[in-house]
Structures are given as C-alpha cells and as structure tokens.
Amino acid sequence: MNTYFNHQAGFVSLVGAGPGDPDLLTVKGLRLIQNADVVIYDRLVSADILALANDNAEMIYVGKRLNYHCVPQEEINDLLVEKAQQGRKVVRLKGGDPFIFGRGGEELEALVEKDILFEVVPGVTAAAGATSYAGIPLTHRDHAQSVQFVTGHVKKEGQGINWASLAQSNSTLVFYMGLKQSGSISDNLISNGLDAKTPCAVIEKGTRRDQRVLVDSLDKLATLASQVESPALIVVGSVATLHNKLDWFNQ
C-alpha cells in the first residue's frame, strides 16, 4: 500500500477518532494509534479506540475531570509540546473531527510556535456519523440543498450567531453542544421566522450501541432535549422526518 505514513520521533499527529463506533476510525488513524508512544485524548474518545494503542504507550486523559472542570487549553498545549520535545511519537486524539468544534486549530498554533512538526488526520464528525446511523440524510433533493454546522455553546444568549440568516436559509441545521441551550435555539429560530412545526431530531450517543433518536417539531425541541444525555446532536429541518423511513440501526 502506497501511503503517506510518516510518524516520526517528536512528531504530533492530530487524529479524529470519529463519533463512537470504533469501526469508523480511519485506517490512518488506526495505524498512528498503534504506533504512538503517547496518546493524549479527550472525553469523547471511546474506550474501544483507546484499547487499540500499544501496551507500552503512555495514555494521558485531558478531558473533563471528576470535578467537571476541563483541563485548561494552555495545559494541553504545553503537554503536546513537552512530549514532542522529548522525541516521542505523539497522537493527539479527539472525538469526531479535530477541526470541527474541536479546538484542533488552537493546539496546532501552539506547535507552530515551537517549530514542532505535525499532521492532521480527519475523523467522521458527529454530524455525519450520528445522522448516518439515524437514517437522516443531511441533504436530500426533496428537502434541503445545504447544511450548516452550528455551535449551541454560545457565551451569552444568541451572541455571535446570525439567527435570521439560519432561520431563513432553508438549510438543514446541525447544532453541536446544544442540549443546554435547546430552548433558546428553538426560540431564536422561531422568532426569526422558522416555522414552529419544522421537524427536528435529537440524536443521543450517535453511532454507539445505545444510540437513541427522538423526532418532533421545533417547538418541542426543549422537551426532546430534556429526555437525553450528552453527547447529543440537534438536527433541524424536514430531513429529520426521514428517520422514520430510513432508520436501519435499530432494525
């Protein structure tokens, strides 16, 4: 196989682990994990994927701690730099895709500052993985001609998001990190002109064995969201109704 595989000492591979099902890991991601001296990973990386690492690899968890506080981003950046400078082969493993709401860019900027070489290996992002396993095509000629990925994690209500443009876009809207803000997401969309009866889905633990999919209308979004646990994805748009026809995962 002719590949670009080139994991050397002092090199950092930023790898997307996909949304949960370990078989959704890329072949390149798998080879890098098996070859790594150090694996620095987040909360959303599944145990089955971590188990693929070499027995001698140092495994460092940098997700939320028991007290629910995240490891500060600077601490993670410093750790990556430190391990790379020790001449280790480092895999920085993140759930989904590292460049989609994954702060992958910030970590790479820290490496650039220290002249550390790196590569990026994409992963299946939750929007692709969870909707595939829910039987919800993000685009469909009869439903939506575009799709937008939006963070639901906004500092103040609505800040930084152009709700009018989202509400009037005719796109399928996918909200990451939106569970806690689900009420304000639906309020903002409806008050900016999106029909309250627009279908929406909440996909809990997408691609995992215990995945659950709930479908209702946008005005019921907060009720749907209150019934699920993190991680969950919110999909707004008429494609959500296709779940009823195309659900294959629970057959």
Positions in the binding site for ligand SAH (CB under 6 A) = 19-20, 44, 94-97, 100-102, 125-126, 130, 176-177, 203, 205-207, 230-233
Distance CA 101, CA 244 (A): 29
User: Is residue 247 annotated as a catalytic residue, yes or no?
Assistant: no
In the complex, least distance from residue 37 CB atom to ligand SAH, rounded to whole angstroms: 24
Residue nearest to ligand SAH (CB): 96
In the complex, least distance from residue 125 CB atom to ligand SAH, rounded to whole angstroms: 3
Cis upstream peptide for 231 (omega within 30°): yes
- For residues 88 and 224, which CB has a smaller minimum distance to ligand SAH in the complex? 224
Q: Which of 21, 37, 42, 187 is catalytic?
A: 42
Q: Where are the alpha helices (DSSP H) in 5-53?
A: 27-35, 47-50
In the complex, least distance from residue 10 CB atom to ligand SAH, rounded to whole angstroms: 25
User: Is residue 64 annotated as a catalytic residue, yes or no?
Assistant: yes
Cα angle: 229, vertex 153, 20; to 5 degrees: 45
- For residues 32 and 203, which CB has a smaller minimum distance to ligand SAH in the complex? 203
In the complex, least distance from residue 59 CB atom to ligand SAH, rounded to whole angstroms: 20
- For residues 88 and 96, which CB has a smaller minimum distance to ligand SAH in the complex? 96
Residue 129, Cβ density class (10 Å: 0-12 exposed, 13-18 middle, ≥19 buried): buried
- Specify the DSSP class assigned to residue 61: E
Q: What share of the chain is helix, strand, coil (3-state, %, to 5)?
A: 30, 20, 45
Active site amino acids: 42, 64
